[in-house]
Structure 1
Amino acid sequence: MRIIRYFNGNELPQLAAVTDEDKIYALPYEDFLELVKAAEFNESTPLQHVQDVIQGAPLIPSPLSQLELLVPIEAQEVWAAGVTYERSRDGRNYESSTNHAEGPTFYDKVYDAKRPEIFFKSTKERTVGPGDTVFLRSDSTWQIPEPELGIVLDDTGGILGYTIGNDMSSRDIEGENPLYLPQAKIWRHSCAIGPTIRLAESVENPYDLRIICRIYRHDALVFEDAANTSQLKRKLDELARFLVRDNVVFNGTILLTGTCIVPPNDFTLREEDRIDIEIPGIGILSNTVKQQQPKSALR
């Protein structure tokens, strides 16, 4: 069972449930957390509650492709985990290869360490949804998407659902100095989430999800690669536990769980590129790319 957020006929945000048969039922909520609270009030799980509600809900006749989808949850905070896949570790090592001596790097060490790398990624004001535009940093010349499975958490670190995330990254900035990580990761429209939230109970095995990334330039496919969450070094609940440890985590927080798809080292995104990230069973998160303007040019 997937949950979408869309503009209804009155141009207001509304939730809907999408079944595995692609039938769409309107839900009487504007926000994903309203649904979660209603399930708790009824001493039910989100999936059971949705199944009960759609018994008498109207069927939306329009196909999913014709609905104006919004970011499925306006998460107050988005966090991300790094170096959770071997490919990510190798990519990070390449970025910083001119800046370290021979031998194990700190990326090698964190890949094998007990404590994962977890960093702050975005707020709801910086996050965009399906069909929206992601921005390139004006002071970076080497930028890529990072396709990731996102987990939607409650305030205890429990997993409510799964979504798709694009953790946009500036490889040159991070490679110059690891202390520049926040600037390499956080800027306007540097994070995309969507198009749906797959309720946790309806995912049989989160460690067997295929992630596919395609990048189009002038409508031509210039990059395609795929990975599987079976390649994930760490468990999802382990990442969530470290996030909530001695921390304040809000209901609906999203934790991106790392990437295993890294474009070739000579590749960088360009304006007007289109990024499609697909996880079958969740959907396709599609975003176009625009060049960020320096702040002085925005005044």
Structure 2
Amino acid sequence: MQIIRFRGENSKPQLAARTTEGQLYKLPFKDFIDMIECARRKKSTPLTLVKGILRDSLPVGRKLDELECLVPIEAEEVWAAGVTYEKSRDERNYESSGGKSSAATFYDKVYDAKRPEIFFKSTKKRTIGPGETVYLRSDSNWQIPEPELGLVLDHKGEILGYTIGNDMSCRDIEGENPLYLPQAKIWRNSCSIGPAIRLAESVEDPYRFQIICRIYRQHTKVFEESASTSQLKRTYEELCSYLASENMIFDGTVLLTGTCIVPPSDFTLQDGDQVEIEIPGIGILRNPVKSQINQSLEVK
């Protein structure tokens, strides 16, 4: 079961459920968190609550690609885990060692350490949804998308659902000095999530998600690679427990779980590119890329 938000009547956001058969049903909640809170009051689970509503409802009669989908949840905070895949460790070593891919660094230590790398990624006002533009930093010459599975959490750090995340990254800034990580990861429109939230109860095995990333330039596919969450070094519960330890977690917090899809070392995103991240069972997150950040843009 997928939960989406789309622009409905009078341009107001509308929450909806999408079944495995592809049928859409409107939900009587203002947003995802409102739905979760209702399930708590009723001492129900989110999936049971939604199924009960669908039994007494009629489908919308429109297809998903006919709707203007919005970010599925306006998360107060988005966090991310790093070096959770072997490929990520190797690429971080490559960045920080000046292209000497065999050189070992502190990334090897964190890959094998008990404590994972978890860092702050984005806020509600910095996070965008499907179809919105991701920006490139003007002070970086080596920028890539990082396709990741996102965990949607409750205030206890328990997993409510799964979504797709694009953790935009500046490889040259991070590679120059690890203390530059916030600048390499956080800027306007540097985080995209969507297009849906797959309710956790409806996922048989969350370690069997396939992640596919495609990049298009002038309508030509210039990159495609896929991976599986089965390649994760750490468990979701392990990552969530460290995020929640000694921390305040908000309902709807998103934790991105790391990437193992990295374009070649000579590749960087360019103005006009389009990034497409697909996780079957969740959907396809598409975002155009823009090189110039217009500082006059109003904050969302």
TM-score range, shorter chain: over 0.9
Matched with 2:251 is 251
Deviation at 1:98, TM superposition (A): 2.7
Matched with 2:51 is 51
Deviation at 1:30, TM superposition (A): 1.9
Distance in 1 (CA, whole Å) between partners of 2:86 and 2:55 is 45
**Structure 2 residue identity aligned to 1:49:** L
The alignment status of 1:143 with 2:143, answered yes or no, reads yes
Deviation at 1:298, TM superposition (A): 7.5
Q: What SS is found at the alignment partner of 2:237?
A: helix
Matched with 1:279 is 279
Q: What SS is found at the alignment partner of 1:249?
A: coil
Matched with 2:171 is 171
The alignment status of 1:154 with 2:151, answered yes or no, reads no
Moved more, 91-100 or 263-272: 91-100
Q: CA RMSD in A?
A: 1.7
Distance in 2 (CA, whole Å) between partners of 1:27 and 1:165 is 24
Matched with 2:8 is 8
1:229-265, Cα deviation, whole Å (9 max, x unpaired): 0000000010000000001111100000000100000
- Pair 101,58 (structure 1): closer, same or farther in 2 beyond 3 Å: closer
Q: Which residues of 2 match residues 144-223 of structure 1 at below 5 A?
A: 144-223=144-223
Q: What SS is found at the alignment partner of 2:277?
A: strand
Deviation at 1:292, TM superposition (A): 3.1
Structure 1 gaps of 5+ residues are none
Aligned-residue sequence identity (percent) comes to 65
Matched with 1:104 is 104
Distance in 2 (CA, whole Å) between partners of 1:79 and 1:298 is 25
TM-score (norm 1): 0.97
Distance in 2 (CA, whole Å) between partners of 1:67 and 1:59 is 14
Distance in 2 (CA, whole Å) between partners of 1:16 and 1:191 is 23
Distance in 1 (CA, whole Å) between partners of 2:285 and 2:66 is 15
Aligned residues of 2:94 and 2:101 also touching (Cα < 8 A): no
Distance in 2 (CA, whole Å) between partners of 1:266 and 1:99 is 11
Aligned residues of 1:27 and 1:57 also touching (Cα < 8 A): no
Aligned residues of 2:93 and 2:101 also touching (Cα < 8 A): no
Structure 2 gaps of 5+ residues are none
Moved over 6 A (4+): 99-102
- Pair 19,242 (structure 1): closer, same or farther in 2 beyond 3 Å: same
TM-score (norm 2): 0.96
**Structure 2 residue identity aligned to 1:178:** P
Q: Which residues of 2 match residues 102-141 of structure 1 at below 5 A?
A: 104-141=104-141
- Pair 52,219 (structure 1): closer, same or farther in 2 beyond 3 Å: same
**Structure 2 residue identity aligned to 1:265:** S
